[in-house]
Every structure is written in C-alpha cells, then in structure tokens.
Structure 1
C-alpha cells in the first residue's frame, strides 16, 4: 500500500521508518530485522525515538 494514502500509525524503531498497519504485520514476522511499535498506543524509550531522527 502506498504510504501517502495510509496513515502511518506504526513504526520500526530499529529501522527508523513509519508504516501502515498492514506493513507492520509483515515487520512483526521479522523481529530479528525490524521491531515495530504503535506510534499512538505504545510507550517509547528515548533511545528508540533517536533511531528515527
């Protein structure tokens, strides 16, 4: 899905990218590469936020 058409409410804090819910499901299946959290619902540590900046 095109990110521009979706609301990216999920993010991979290991890769520093935002994604839609559909893509977050894929990324959850590869935890050795990408760790995913909800932008709105999950608590974020400062170190996780720094990866995306």
Structure 2
C-alpha cells in the first residue's frame, strides 16, 4: 500500500495547470481588492483630515 499514489504525466500536468489557474485567480482577486481599498482608504483619510 502506498500512501501517495504516483500520478501519470498527463494527470500531473493537468493538476499543475489547475493549481496555476487557482493561484492566478488568487492574485487577480488580491489586485482587485488592493485597487478598491487603496482609494477607499485615501478617501477616508481625506475625510478624517477635513473633519
């Protein structure tokens, strides 16, 4: 009994592509959040200074 079954080369490539896609998606979400929160925090800072 093997704890980690070996993957075929095709399956390994498929798994690698799926993981790569997930990491790219995570990166895009991080950039999107940063692009939204950056200006939002700048606006809140301006409001704080104005008050």
Shorter chain as normaliser: what TM range? under 0.3
Structure number with greater CO (CA < 8 Å, separation at least 6) is: 1
Greater fraction helix: 2
Greater fraction strand: 1
User: TM-score, normalising length from structure 1?
Assistant: 0.24
Looking at CA atoms only, which structure, 1 or 2, has the larger radius of gyration? 2
